[in-house]
Amino acid sequence: MDEFKLRNGMSIPCIGYGPDSLSLMAKYPKNGRLVNRVRNKIRKELIERPQYVEMLAFTLKSGCRLIDFSASYGDGSLIAEGVNKSGMKREQVLYTTRISNRAQYDEKIEQEFESQLRGFRTDYMDILMLHWPVTDYFEKTWIKMIELKEKGLCRIIGVANCNSHHLQRLYDISGQYPEIDQFEVHPLFTQKELVSFCVKNGIQVEAYTPIARRDDRIYNPPLMKKLSDKYHKSITQLILRWHIQNGIIPIIRSMNKDHMRHNLDVFDFHILEEDMKLIDGMNINSRLRYDPDNCDFSAL
């Protein structure tokens, strides 16, 4: 798989896999959260656990070695099982985890990080991010993350959901920008200004929700169908390739082997500059996920 270089010289795969938290909670209304947490856990144990582990092992064996996770998705033990099942060595895989908002509010960064290490069955994390720039807390969290890096417990520190003013604030208090910022990017929401800020300051961008969860506004327009015919690639493959050619690492989620095999088959073609611009032109600033400048961090 092709790779990008981080500003510290380390190589990073240009596609990542985000198996997520099994995502069932999102299907239920907020006020049913507690009941559904229990239901979720039971279902996860009985039905989804083997599928999750199998899917992760399959994705690793198919060549995708960058794994995206967060303490708010669980303890990481399923990731450890998936890696074990794949037969890969720990060093062959790049683990990402994020610090939850809960740990930021409780100021329990080290405790949560240690529990992630135990769950992942490892003694270091490759990439540690903060999940959200929680107002009044994210600066303190960042300083703790720098300490964890200095102790050799993680190789790269980054952030998620940070806008340029958050990134600048972290630089102002610590003299260093995060090495990675992961935020929502797809053709309906290209975030060009934020991406440019990152490029200018040596911050690698990772895109979450990279195919906009197959939003009809991307998948239906004749333009995308036309490009799909022109390149003999699906619309999903075109979008993933568009991210990579823009220097962005898409973090894709799938629980379907055929889909994932297809998602990784994006290295045998090149989108022409004029067509890259056409895809860029689909932007309508339509955010599908939460806005870090206008959300309730305690509910995430």
Ligand X SMILES: NC(=O)c1ccc[n+]([C@@H]2O[C@H](COP(=O)([O-])OP(=O)(O)OC[C@H]3O[C@@H](n4cnc5c(N)ncnc54)[C@H](OP(=O)(O)O)[C@@H]3O)[C@@H](O)[C@H]2O)c1
The distance of closest approach from Cβ of residue 274 to ligand X in the complex, given in angstroms and rounded to an integer, is 25
Amino acid at 283: N
- Please count the residues of this chain forming the interface with ligand X, following the rule CB under 6 A: 25
The distance of closest approach from Cβ of residue 18 to ligand X in the complex, given in angstroms and rounded to an integer, is 2
Instruction: Give yes or no for residue 255 binding ligand X (CB under 6 A).
Output: yes
**SS percent in the chain: helix, strand, coil, step 5:** 50, 15, 35
Instruction: Give yes or no for residue 94 binding ligand X (CB under 6 A).
Output: no
**Cα(239)–Cα(287) distance, integer angstroms:** 16
Dihedral (Cα; 240, 241, 245, 248), 10-degree rounding: 20
Answer for which of 90, 108, 262, 287 binds ligand X (CB under 6 A) is 262
Instruction: Give yes or no for residue 289 binding ligand X (CB under 6 A).
Output: yes
One character per residue 74-93, x = contact with ligand X (rule: CB under 6 A): --------------------
DSSP H helices in 130-221:
138-150, 164-174, 192-200, 216-219
Question: HSE on the CB side for 64, CA within 13 Å?
Answer: 29
Residue carrying structure tokens 């417990």: 153
Nearer to ligand X, 213 or 226 (CB): 213
Instruction: Give yes or no for residue 213 binding ligand X (CB under 6 A).
Output: yes
Answer for which of 163, 253, 271, 282 binds ligand X (CB under 6 A) is 253
The distance of closest approach from Cβ of residue 265 to ligand X in the complex, given in angstroms and rounded to an integer, is 10
Looking at the chain, the number of H-run helices and the number of E-run strands are 13, 10
Instruction: Give yes or no for residue 13 binding ligand X (CB under 6 A).
Output: no
Answer for which of 195, 205, 210, 233 binds ligand X (CB under 6 A) is 210
Answer for which of 203, 252, 264, 266 binds ligand X (CB under 6 A) is 252
One character per residue 152-181, x = contact with ligand X (rule: CB under 6 A): --------xx--------------------
Amino acid at 126: D
Nearer to ligand X, 123 or 267 (CB): 267
Nearer to ligand X, 6 or 235 (CB): 235
The distance of closest approach from Cβ of residue 259 to ligand X in the complex, given in angstroms and rounded to an integer, is 4
**Cα(122)–Cα(90) distance, integer angstroms:** 8
**Cα(62)–Cα(244) distance, integer angstroms:** 18
The distance of closest approach from Cβ of residue 212 to ligand X in the complex, given in angstroms and rounded to an integer, is 6
Only one of the segments 75-83, 150-158, 247-255, 276-284 lies at the binding site for ligand X (rule: CB under 6 A); that segment is: 247-255
- Sign of torsion over alpha carbons 112, 41, 76, 127: negative
Sequence-ordered list of residues with C-beta below 8 angstroms from that of 88, at least 6 positions apart, any chain: 60, 61, 65
List C-alpha distances in Å: 49 to 56, 71, 237: 11, 17, 28
Instruction: Give yes or no for residue 209 binding ligand X (CB under 6 A).
Output: yes
**Cα(134)–Cα(288) distance, integer angstroms:** 20
- Residue numbers at the binding site for ligand X (CB under 6 A): 18, 20, 68, 131, 160-161, 182, 208-214, 236, 251-256, 259, 262-263, 289
